[in-house]
Structure 1
C-alpha cells in the first residue's frame, strides 16, 4: 500500500496542474466505486433535498436509468432545477450520470434509499447540523471550555463475545438477556435472532416514551425501566450508553446493575473506546458530534470510570 501511495504521489507531482487534477479525479472515482455510505461524509443539504423528493428511491426502484423529465414527472420538481441537483449529486458519486440528463443508482444511493437510512440523514441535518453550525461561536463565547455537566452494518458484541460458552444455568422463566437503555430494541432483537434456541426471556428496557416506538418481535419483551434504578438477568448489555453520561452517572448505572446480579451474571459493555493516538477520522468526528449535540464524549483508552 505504501508503494502504491508513493507512486500516486510521484505521478501527481511530476506533471502539470492539469495532470495533478486528473490524478485527484481518478482517486475520487476509485473511492466512490468502493466506499460504503458510512465511509464518507456526504453533502448533507443535497441529500436532504433528495429525501424530500424521494429521488434515490425512484432510481433504486427503476430497472433502467431515468431521464430528468421522468424524474420531474415523479417528483413534481421543476426539470431545470432537478437537472442541476442531479448533476451535483452525481459529481460526488451519490448517483451516476448514465447519459446526458439521465441518471441511475450507485452503491451509495441504493443504500440510502431505505427509509431507515434516510431518517438518519434527516436527524443529522435537522437536529445535529444546527448545533454544529453554532459550535464555533458557542466555543468562542465560552472561552473554549469543555462542558461536562451532561454527558448500519457495524460489528457488535455479538460478533466478538462467546455467548454460548457462558450461557449456563438457563431456564425458560429466567431473564436471559437485558438490553439496558435499549431504545427501540434493535440489539435485543439481534441477540434473540442470533440465539433463538437459548432458553430464557430477552428484554429491552428503557423509558416509557421510548418503548412506545419499540420494534415488535415475538421473542423480545419490553420493560419500562430507568437507567438509574436496579436491573435484573443473566446477561446485561449496555450498548452506547456510557458515552452519554459523565463518570458519576456511569457509576450509578453500573452499581445498580451490579447489585441485581446473580453469581453467574455478566455485564457486557458495547461502546467505542478511542485510542490515545492515531484516531480514525470517523471516530474523531463522532466524538465532536457527541460533544456538540449532547455535551458528551467518547472515552479514550486511558480513561476509566473510577469508583
Structure 2
C-alpha cells in the first residue's frame, strides 16, 4: 500500500493538472469503499468539521503547531492558545481524526501538510468568510428552494441569503451594516488570487493597442476595487499610450493603491459609463455575482460607451460543458445562494452577451485548472459598420 501511495504522490507532483486528477481519483476510490454508515457520518458531520476548524483558526492553533519544530503537548498548546486543557484535548482529538493535525504520541500533537495549509493567511481569511457568511446561506438553501418551487433565482433580494440573515437587503447593502462579515470577505478577496496567474499572460494587449491615442481611454477597470488590475497593467505595459482608469464606488476608490499614471474615479457601474470610446473596458469577477437583470444593465451601459475599436474584456470562470470540478461547482452554488447569479459555460456567456447586442469574439484561458479565462467581447460587425457610417 505504501509503495502504491508513493507512486501516486510522484505522479501528482508532475503538474498542477496531474495533482488535481490524482486527488479526484483517490477521493472516488475512498467513496467507493464507504459503507452507508460512513457516508452518513461524512456528510452529517461536514458542518461540524467546518466549525472546529474555525475554532482552530480563532485560537491560532494551526499557526501554533506550524511554528513549533517539535510536537507539543496538550498542556503546552493549552497555555499558548488560552483554551482550558480538557477542552483543548477534545478539540485536538477531533481535528486529528479529520486529518487537520497529527497526533504524534499520547497527548502530543504536531503540524502536518493540512495544518500548514490551514495556517496560511488566505486560508484563514477564506474559511472565516465561508463559515460566518456563506455557511448560513447553505443551511437556508433547502428551505429556500422548497419555497420558490425549485426555480433558478433571478432577484438578488429574494435568495437564500435573505432567508439566512432575515433581511430584505441584497448582500452588498447588507455588508455595509455588517463590518465584521465585510472584513472577512475583503480579506479573502485581497488574498485569494495569485498575481502571477493573470489574463495579461495570454491576451494580445500590444497587438490591439500599440497605436492607441494618448488622449483616449486605454484601460478602464470597472468595479476594480483598490486598483490591483490597473497596477499590474501599468507595470507590464508602461509604454502604451492612453488613460488607465480605476472605477469603483467612493469607499473603494478612497483606499486605492497609489499607482503613478492611474486615475482613480468614483463611479457606480450601474450608471452611464462616463469614458467614451476607450480601447479596453475590463471587468474581473464582476458579472458572476450579479442577478440577470443587473448583468444586462451593466453590459448595456458599457456597450453604449464603446466605440468601433473598443473591446470589453470579461475575466471570469468559463465552465466546461461536463465534469465541472468541485471548487467551481461550489462557487456556482454560492452565487445562486447569495446573488441569484451563476457561473457560466462559454455558450451561456455567448448568449448573455448576444442578449444585449454584443459578440464574444474569442476566449483566452489562462488558468485551465480553475477555468479562469478572459473573454474578448466586441460590438458586432453590423453595428460597427452602421456606427462608422
Specify if TM > 0.5: yes
Q: Quote the residue 1:239 is aligned against.
A: 284
Aligned partner of 2:311 in structure 1 is 266
What's the counterpart of residue 329 of structure 2?
284
2:82 counterpart (76, 85, 92): 76
Whole-angstrom distance in 1 between the partners of 2:209 and 2:68:
47
- The aligned residue for residue 343 of structure 2 is 298
Query: 1:171: how far off?
Result: 6.5
**1:230 corresponds to 2:236:** no
| Native 8 Å contact 2:292 2:341 kept in 1 | no
Question: What is the Cα deviation at residue 207 of structure 1?
Answer: 1.2
Inter-partner Cα distance in structure 2 for 1:89 and 1:221: 48
CA distance in 2, matches of 1:239, 1:186: 11
CA separation of 1:269 and 1:111: change in aligned 2, threshold 3 A: same
CA distance in 1 between partners of 2:72 and 2:147 (Å): 49
The residue number in structure 1 matching 2:61 is 55
1:231 touches 1:257 (CA, 8 Å); kept in 2?
Answer: no
Secondary structure of the corresponding residue to residue 150 of structure 2 = coil
Structure 1's consecutive aligned runs of 4 or more residues displaced over 6 angstroms after TM superposition are none
- Alpha-carbon distance in 1 for matches of 2:218, 2:48: 40
Counterpart position of 1:34: none
- Cα deviation digits, residues 99-148 of structure 1 (max 9, x gap): 43333333433343244432221111111111110111222222223221
In structure 2, how many angstroms separate the alpha carbons of the residues matched to 1:200 and 1:102? 61
Structure 1 residues 256, 86: CA separation in 2 closer, same or farther (over 3 Å shift)? same
Distance 1:290 1:191, change over 3 A: same
User: Partners in 2 of 1:277 and 1:182 — Cα distance?
Assistant: 31
CA separation of 1:145/1:258 partners in 2, compared to 1, >3 Å: closer, same or farther?
Answer: closer
**Structure 2 counterpart SS, 1:223:** strand
Identify if the C-alpha distance between structure 1 residues 213 and 122 changes in structure 2 by more than 3 Å, giving closer, same or farther.
farther
Number of matched pairs: 278
Shift of 1:251: 3.1
C-alpha spacing 1:146/1:105, structure 2 compared with 1 (3 Å) = same
Structure 1: distance between partners of 2:221 and 2:259: 14
1:113 maps to 2:119: yes
- Can you list the C-alpha shifts for 1:28-61, whole angstroms capped at 9, x where unaligned? xxxxxxxxxxxxx993212211121111222333
Structure 2 counterpart SS, 1:43: helix
Superposition RMSD in Å: 3.5
Q: Tell me by how many angstroms 1:238 deviates.
A: 0.7
Moved more, 127-136 or 223-232: 223-232
Query: Which of 211, 236, 240 is the matching residue for 2:253?
Result: 211
Supply the distance in 2 between the matched residues of 1:292 and 1:194 (Cα, whole angstroms): 37
Ranges in structure 2 where 5+ consecutive residues have no aligned partner: 1-10, 12-21, 35-46, 158-191, 357-389
Aligned to 1:253: 298
SS, match of residue 246 in structure 2:
strand
